[in-house]
Structure 1
Amino acid sequence: MTERPSAAVAVDRRDFIRLAGTTAAGWLALGATPDRIRIVASLTGLPLDDELTRRNFSDNMNSRLGGLIGGLRQRGWVEGVNIRFEIRSTFGGPAKLQAAIQEIIDLKPDVILTGSTVETAAVMATTRTIPIVFATANDPVGNGFVESLAHPGGNVTGFTNSSAEMGGKWLQLVREVVPDLARVGVLFNPVTTPRAGRFFLDSIEQEAAASGVSVVPAPVNAAAEIDAAIGRFSEAPRAAMIALVDSFLVINRQAVVAATAKYRVPMIYPFHYFIDAGGLMSYGPTLEVRSADYVDLILRGTKAGDLPVQSPRKYELLINRTVAGALGLKLPFTLLARADEIRE
C-alpha cells in the first residue's frame, strides 16, 4: 500500500499545478479529451526545502522543473487534464533513497526523471521496464546505464553534463588564477562522484604532470569532514582546489564555500550553484532544459532506449571578482576576457 505524500510533497504538488498555468477546466473547454492521466515522476537528491529545489519550481523556463512543465504544456500535456507530476526527495541516506524510489515505483509512472548518477543507478536496480530519463550523468556508458550514447538500448536515456577531459580544463583555469601553484587538492565524495573520482582524476593528473603540479585527492564522506579537508590546503606549498561533479558537494555547497573563505583556498567548481553561494569561479555546461522533448516522445510511445544520449552544447566560465580580491588573487585580463559572466 502506498503511503500518502508528506505535507512538504503536497505543497510541491500545488506548485506543480500553479506552474501548469492553465486550469484543467479551461483545457477541457477547449476540447481536450485525454484517454488517461499520465504520471511523470521526478527524483531529486536535494532536500525539498533547499534553495535550488525551490528555484527549480519557479515558472522560469530555464529552471529544471519549470522548463519541463512549460515544455510539456507547449506539447499539449497539462496538469490535471492528461498528466500528473509527482516529485520525491531522496535526501537522507540510503534508506530514504530506497523508500523514495519504492514510493515512485508504486505509483506506476509512465516515465521517471532522475537528477544524479546515484539516483539513476538505484532506480535501474529496481526497474528495467519503466522508462527513465536522467537529467545529468557524467559517464552513462561506464556506469552501465546505456549500451552507447548513440544507441542506449534498454529503458534509459538522458543528458550528460561533462566529459572526463573536464578535469584537465579545471586545472588549466585554476593555474591561470594561481600561477605559482605547486599542488592541487581534488575534493569529492567517493560514493557520489563518477567512478569514485577516477572519471576526472585521470585527466587532472595528466595535466598536472605536464605542468609540474602535484595532485592531492581530498575525499570526504560526510559534511563534517569538509572543513578539515579544505583546511589542509591553506599551508605552503601554494595550493588551490578543484571540486568534482558530485551531488554530495552540491547539497553541501554552503559548507564548501564557507571553508574556502575561512582558509583562503582558491577553488574552481563545476556548476554555477557554487558561485551563487559565494564561490570563486566555475566552469561547466550551460543549463539547458531539454527533458521535455524526451518525456513527450516517451509519453507518445517512443522507447527510451531508441533516443540517443545528448551532450552539452555550450560551456560557461563564471568568475566572482570580489571573492578573488578577498583571497588576494590578481585575475589576469586574458582570463577575464574569456569569462561568460563576471560577478562583483
Structure 2
Amino acid sequence: MRKRIIILCMLLMSLIMLGACGNSEDKAGGSSNGGSSKKGKTFKIGATQIVEHPSLDQAYKGFQEALKDAGLDVEFDLQSAQGEQNNVKTIADNFVADNVDLIFANSTPSALGALQATDQIPIVFTSVSDPVGAGIVEAMDQPGDNITGVVDLHPEAIKETVQFIDKYFNGANVGLIYNAGEQNSVSQIDAVKEAAEGTSLTLTERTVANTAEVQQAAMTVASEVDVLYIVTDNMVVSALDSVVGVAEDQKIPLIVGEPDSLEKGGFATFGIDYFKIGYRTGEMAVEILKGEKDPSDIPVEYPKEIKLIINKEAAEKQGVEWHDEWDELAEFLETNE
C-alpha cells in the first residue's frame, strides 16, 4: 500500500510540474509574439494639421486607411489649427496632456509644434517638404529619437516644373505667392530660384501673412507676370480659388505644386499622390505602435514617384497654347464636364 501511495504522489508531482512548464511557455510565447502583448489595446492617436485643404485631407485619409488595413483598434482625434500658429502649440500640448499613444503631424508647422511639445510620445509626419531645413530631423537617414515620416516633395519636382515652364513659356516672368513665415514654403521658393538659374525665366515674388491677403497678392502680381507658380504653401493653397479666379480673368497659366490643386483649377503640376504618402506614414505608425520599431529606426522617406498631370479644362480657361506632345507626356485630370 505504501508503495502505491509513493507512486501516486510521484505521478501527481509530475503533473503539477508539467502544468507549470506549460503556463511558463504560454507566457513566454505571448510576450515575444511581435507585439502581441498589445493585442486588444485601443490606441489613441492625436492628428494635428495646420489647415484644412484637399492635399492635407487626402494625406490624413491615407494615414487612417493604413492603420485600418493593419487591423489596429484606433481612436483618432483630428485637430486643425485653422492656419493659426498659436493653435498649433495648443493642440500639441493638449495631445501630450491626454497622453496619446502617437501624434500624426500633417504639415511642417504641425510637426514642429509636436516636436516642441514632447520628446517622449512618438511622432510621424507628412506633408513636410524640407524636414532637415525646418529642423525637424538632422538628416533624412537620421530621424529623431521620437519622430520620422514622409516628405511631400519629390527631389526632382521643382526642377522638373521649372524646366517645363522654361521650355513651353520661354522668357516668362513667373509669379510666386507664398507665406514667408512657413519654412516649408521658403525652402521651396529657394529651390525654385536655384532651378531657375541659367534659364530664360525671371521671378517675381509676393508674400502673404494670412489667407485674406492671397487674392490681392494674386491680382497685384498678375499685372506683372506671364505665369503663376504656386508651391505647396498651406496658406495659399487653402485660398487657391481666389488665385484661380485671377488666372482665368487675366488668361495666365497657373502651375501648381500638387494634384489636388488641379481639381481646384490649376493647369499643370509635377505632383505626388497625397493619399499614398499618408498611407506610407500610417505604415510607419503601425510598426511603432506594435513595438516592432522606434521612430529612430525608420529613415525619413521621399515620395516614390512624380508625374506630369494637366487639367485641360483649366488650360482652356487660362488661355494656354496647347502643345501636341503633352498628349503623350502627361496624364490628364478627369472632370465631370
Q: TM-score range by the shorter chain?
A: 0.7 to 0.9
Aligned residue in 2 for 1:42: 47
**Alpha-carbon distance in 2 for matches of 1:243, 1:235:** 16
Q: Which amino acid aligns with 1:295?
A: A
Pair 264,139 (structure 1): closer, same or farther in 2 beyond 3 Å:
same
Aligned residue in 2 for 1:166: 157
Q: Which amino acid aligns with 1:285?
A: I
Pair 66,211 (structure 1): closer, same or farther in 2 beyond 3 Å:
closer
Aligned residue in 2 for 1:153: 144
Would you say the 8 A contact 1:282–1:317 is kept in 2?
Answer: yes
**Alpha-carbon distance in 1 for matches of 2:255, 2:85:** 29
**Which of these residues, 223, 228, 244, is aligned with residue 257 of structure 1?**
244
Deviations 1:277-315 (CA, angstroms, capped at 9, x unpaired)? 122112222331212211111112221111111111111
Would you say the 8 A contact 2:263–2:333 is kept in 1?
Answer: no
Pair 84,254 (structure 1): closer, same or farther in 2 beyond 3 Å:
same
Aligned residue in 2 for 1:280: 267
**Which of these residues, 131, 143, 165, is aligned with residue 122 of structure 2?**
131
Identity %: 21
Per-residue deviation at 1:85? Answer: 1.7
**Alpha-carbon distance in 1 for matches of 2:259, 2:71:** 32
Per-residue deviation at 1:177? Answer: 4.1
Structure 2 unaligned residues grouped into runs of 5+: 1-36
Aligned residue in 1 for 2:66: 71
Per-residue deviation at 1:333? Answer: 1.6
**Alpha-carbon distance in 1 for matches of 2:156, 2:240:** 23
Q: Which amino acid aligns with 2:236?
A: L
Aligned residue in 1 for 2:172: 182
Helix, strand or coil: the match of 2:117? coil
Q: Which amino acid aligns with 1:291?
A: T
Alignment size in residue pairs:
295
**Which of these residues, 311, 314, 321, is aligned with residue 320 of structure 1?**
311
**Which of these residues, 199, 206, 227, is aligned with residue 211 of structure 1?**
199
The root-mean-square deviation of aligned C-alpha atoms, in Å, is 2.5
Deviations 1:50-72 (CA, angstroms, capped at 9, x unpaired)? 6667xx4xxxxxx4344333322
Per-residue deviation at 1:322? Answer: 2.0
Pair 242,33 (structure 1): closer, same or farther in 2 beyond 3 Å:
closer
Q: Which amino acid aligns with 1:137?
A: V
Q: Which amino acid aligns with 1:192?
A: E
Q: Which amino acid aligns with 2:189?
A: L
**Alpha-carbon distance in 1 for matches of 2:78, 2:199:** 46
Would you say the 8 A contact 1:189–1:219 is kept in 2?
Answer: yes
Q: Which amino acid aligns with 1:168?
A: K
Pair 235,285 (structure 1): closer, same or farther in 2 beyond 3 Å:
same
Matched, 1:230 2:225: no
**Alpha-carbon distance in 2 for matches of 1:122, 1:98:** 5
More helix by share: 2
Deviations 1:181-212 (CA, angstroms, capped at 9, x unpaired)? 43111121111242x52x23344334433222
Pair 200,34 (structure 1): closer, same or farther in 2 beyond 3 Å:
closer
Per-residue deviation at 1:176? Answer: 4.1
Per-residue deviation at 1:35? Answer: 5.4
**Alpha-carbon distance in 2 for matches of 1:103, 1:33:** 24
Worse-matched range after superposition: 301-310 or 278-287: 278-287
Pair 120,177 (structure 1): closer, same or farther in 2 beyond 3 Å:
same
Quick check: which has more Rg, 1 or 2? 2
Structure 1 unaligned residues grouped into runs of 5+: 1-31, 57-62
Aligned residue in 2 for 1:110: 101
Would you say the 8 A contact 2:51–2:82 is kept in 1?
Answer: yes
Q: Which amino acid aligns with 1:229?
A: A
Q: Which amino acid aligns with 1:259?
A: V
Would you say the 8 A contact 2:253–2:319 is kept in 1?
Answer: no
Would you say the 8 A contact 1:156–1:305 is kept in 2?
Answer: yes
Per-residue deviation at 1:268? Answer: 0.7
Would you say the 8 A contact 2:255–2:267 is kept in 1?
Answer: yes
Per-residue deviation at 1:253? Answer: 2.0
Q: Which amino acid aligns with 2:179?
A: N
Would you say the 8 A contact 1:193–1:246 is kept in 2?
Answer: no
